[in-house]
Amino acid sequence: MPDPESSQTLESLLNVVEKFPPPKKLKEQAWVKSNKIYEKAKRDPEGFWAEAAEILDWFKPWSKVLKWDPPDSRWFIGGKINASYNCLDRHVKTWRRNKVAIFWEGEPGDRRVLTYSDLYREVNRFANVLKKMGLKEGDRATLYLPMIPELPIAMLACTRIGVIHSVVFAGYSAKALQERLRNAEARLLITANHGYRRGKKIPLKKNADEALQDAPTVEKVIVYQRSDELTPMKNGRDFWWHELMQTVPPKCDPKPLDSETPLFTLYTSGTTGKPKGIVHVNGGYLVGTAITQKWVFDLKDEDVYWCTADIGWITGHSYIVYGPLAIGATEVMYEGAPDYPQPDRFWEIVERYGVTIFYTAPTAIRAFMKWGEEWPKKHDLSSIRLLGSVGEPINPQAWLWYRSTIGGGKCQIVDTWWQTETGMILITPLPGVTVLKPGSATLPFPGIEADVVDEKGNPVPPDRGGFLVIKNPWPAMLKTLYRDPERYRRTYWTQIPGAYFTGDGARKDKDGYFWIMGRIDDVMNVSGHRLGTMEVESAIVSHPFVAEAAVVGKPHPVKGQSITAYVMLRRGVKPAEGLKDDLKKQVRKEIGPIAVPDEIYVVEKLPKTRSGKIMRRVIRALISGQELGDITTLEDPSAVEEVRKWLKTVE
């Protein structure tokens, strides 16, 4: 395990100067007005979560809140629930039936407005389509779709009949899709002919066809027609979404599912080359996302909420699909890039729909800063009353800019720390009670016990760096890794005694506020996307000329981290012109454009331990100008000079 103290990510980030208490008006009307809630939840966490679970409609009440047999948790035992019922049916029975659920905007400028009734109808029909395709409870369907309403529709249709969905981000390559289809043993793939990104058509169906060349479990493919362009359809395997929808009855009863039945799997990067299939279940996940959606964003029926994430990641699952729809919110969903056709696209959307709550990532905020204030200034953003941040540490400068330029100097910012694995936000302000410090995710949500500890699990003193851990179970926690329970146990529950290991470094200040410093394992965070160094390395090494590669994240002013690769060629191979471009292409093909390194250096040696493990820590320290720490285990110290040499050439 890495040493958090020596990690470059753990330097003290700043001296806080200013604090931001909640304005009186916000406090008065917030769902949570008093910090007594923390005490209450601490005294009786199970009672607290039981009360939280009342935010949902259950077909059958649970008999016990929690069975905790570390690392296995079972929540709301015996309860029967259905996510699609909670997100739709219960709203269409009330005045919300014609309330807008989703204001959708496509990148080319097409718009759709879906009320809760509209969504309900689409989901019912599509659930019948899934049945018609022969799918039943427990089967897996993989969704490889752009940010169009059909993505949440397909997800909710799956949950309606107990099919486990596995969404694959539409920016992933055919190869990455194939790996995920194979691991999930998906029976069905749902995709579109195209998606749009920065004005270009992304050929999703073409990628899908390539992936399906070796994904033997997939029997059928449903294709949504996003553009007029036709795509080859394989007879008996491929079906058009719109044609199937006309062949099925309009209603499909939601299936009461046990709280602990899987709701979805979502792949995320870890410290090996193989992505992990995180498994979330119906009951606890929905309770966790619904209550945090309501309290952290202080979301009311009259709000227009916009989370700019992609549903291909956990943020979109929890805070575009399940959280907002479970509580009957009105939200905005946008398909494309923030700077298409111009850098004010987001602000144009905020103005058009009167967005009141805006949730985005620090990398986006830093890009907005770079593009300049003139873009937001062109629009009326006065409707915004609360801002959110997620995905990586937000530097105080970006925090202050966000508050003044986007929030008009009047909005609180909820900096929410969580992970694919945690399912729900775990460390965050509550906007009506928490005094904010720019750059800090502040305090654990009520009922959550987080800490910063050393390797043995002992709390470290205030303002000292250590490992961020969670000490008690929470409802939306991951259940396991799909088909790999042993890796689940090993990755999260063996590194620090008695606690969930997050992989993040952090410090706690004297007021108990958490300052997240970023990953201390071999995981990078590039523009808010989580990528494993080994995943990128194995993509590079799959090139026939490459013997070995070491990939590290390098601090980057906009992206948070950028990818740098050091590559050793096979014996006898000379670094030819165009090799670096070939390697970039290789990564694009194996994973997708998000994983392409910014910089590639061909070297003759890599710093390794005597047992042959690449010491990425050493390279990371070198490229970010930090202390090297203990390098006595290095097999050949001259490798350090080799890396340093390349740094000099670029400086």
Binding site for ligand PRX (CB under 6 A): 268, 313-315, 390-393, 415-420, 441, 502-504, 516, 518-519, 525, 530
Nearer to ligand PRX, 79 or 423 (CB): 423
Nearer to ligand PRX, 52 or 517 (CB): 517
Q: What angle do CA 57, 104, 476 make, to 5 degrees?
A: 35
Q: How far is the CB of 359 from ligand PRX (least distance, A)?
A: 11
The percent helix, strand, coil of the chain (3-state, each to 5) is 35, 25, 40
> Which of 173, 165, 399, 174 lies closest to 282, judged by CA?
165
Q: How far is the CB of 530 from ligand PRX (least distance, A)?
A: 4
Q: How far is the CB of 519 from ligand PRX (least distance, A)?
A: 5
Q: How far is the CB of 308 from ligand PRX (least distance, A)?
A: 12
Q: How far is the CB of 92 from ligand PRX (least distance, A)?
A: 30
Q: How far is the CB of 525 from ligand PRX (least distance, A)?
A: 6
Q: How far is the CB of 195 from ligand PRX (least distance, A)?
A: 20
Q: Which residue has the tokens 């191979």?
A: 573
Cα dihedral sign for 618, 632, 537, 479?
Answer: negative
Facing residues of 238 across strands? 221
Q: Where do runs of H (alpha helix) occur along 327-478?
A: 345-353, 362-371, 374-377, 396-401
- DSSP assignment of 31-75 equals S---THHHHHHHH-HHHHHHHHGGGS--SB--SEEEEEETTEEEE
User: Which residues, including other chains, have CB under 8 Å from residue 463's CB and lie 6 or more apart?
Assistant: 12, 507, 508, 509, 510
| Cβ contact 382:424 at 8 Å | no
Nearer to ligand PRX, 356 or 525 (CB): 525
Nearer to ligand PRX, 328 or 465 (CB): 465
Nearer to ligand PRX, 315 or 405 (CB): 315
Nearer to ligand PRX, 349 or 531 (CB): 531
| Cβ contact 238:224 at 8 Å | no
Nearer to ligand PRX, 338 or 532 (CB): 532
Q: How far is the CB of 96 from ligand PRX (least distance, A)?
A: 28
> Which of 386, 423, 425 lies closest to 299, judged by CA?
386
- In whole angstroms, what is the distance from residue 383 CA to residue 371 CA? 22
> Which of 176, 295, 182, 38 lies closest to 587, judged by CA?
176
Max Cα-Cα span within the chain: 73
User: Which residues, including other chains, have CB under 8 Å from residue 168's CB and lie 6 or more apart?
Assistant: 142, 143, 144, 176, 177, 180, 181, 267, 312
> Which of 529, 525, 521, 539 lies closest to 600, judged by CA?
539
Facing residues of 444 across strands? 427
Q: How far is the CB of 71 from ligand PRX (least distance, A)?
A: 18
Nearer to ligand PRX, 159 or 318 (CB): 318
Q: How far is the CB of 444 from ligand PRX (least distance, A)?
A: 13
Q: How far is CA 401 from CA 288, 388, 397, in A?
A: 31, 13, 6
Nearer to ligand PRX, 444 or 607 (CB): 444
Nearer to ligand PRX, 66 or 176 (CB): 176
